């Protein structure tokens, strides 16, 4: 039988700092020095004011479920053992949204606006930010 490995993100120039933070248990996002707004996904220019004066800050790791779906069929053979699982859009307290999984719960309990907090799980040698109900 073929061993399937789960796909993992490929860090690039914009996202390397984010993934380096994950590797040590820190959820890093960007913040614009000019307009003070938080930014995610990583980029070189603030989407709010077009400034290039951006730095990395550690997010609280707290947020809420903005939207979600329950995957009841594996999208890839490597996820077969995880079914059912939750794919969610998480809105962090800092105002940015990111896609992740909600883990360590009954998938039927998940609802929009539920409070969540980040945790990091190893997958294929990489630490990935996932969320659990708070």
The pLDDT tens digits for 96-107 are: 999 999 999 999
3-state secondary structure of 108: helix
The pLDDT tens digits for 106-132 are: 999 999 999 999 999 999 889 999 999
Contact in structure between 50 and 43 (CB atoms under 8 Å): no
Tokens of 67: 């939207």
User: The whole model's pTM is what?
Assistant: 0.92
68: closest CA among 84, 41, 89, 83?
A: 89
3-state secondary structure of 80: helix
Instruction: Let me know the angle formed at the C-alpha of 60 by 120 and 50, rounded to the nearest 5 degrees.
Output: 105
**What integer pLDDT is reported at residue 1 of this predicted model?**
53
**What integer pLDDT is reported at residue 38 of this predicted model?**
98
Domain ranges across the chain: 16-133
The mean pLDDT of the chain is: 95
């Amino acid at each position: 039988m073929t061993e399937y490995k789960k796909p993992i993100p490929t860090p690039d120039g914009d996202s390397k700092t984010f993934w380096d933070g994950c590797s040590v248990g820190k959820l890093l996002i960007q913040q614009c020095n000019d307009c003070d707004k938080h930014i995610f996904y990583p980029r070189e220019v603030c989407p709010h004011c077009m400034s290039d004066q951006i730095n990395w800050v550690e997010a609280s790791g707290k947020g809420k479920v903005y939207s979600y779906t329950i995957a009841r069929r594996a999208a890839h053979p490597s996820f077969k053992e995880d079914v059912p699982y939750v794919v969610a859009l998480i809105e962090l307290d800092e105002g940015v949204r990111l896609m992740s999984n909600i883990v360590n719960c009954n998938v039927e309990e998940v609802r929009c606006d539920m409070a969540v907090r980040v945790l990091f799980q190893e997958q294929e040698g990489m630490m990935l930010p996932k969320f659990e109900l708070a």
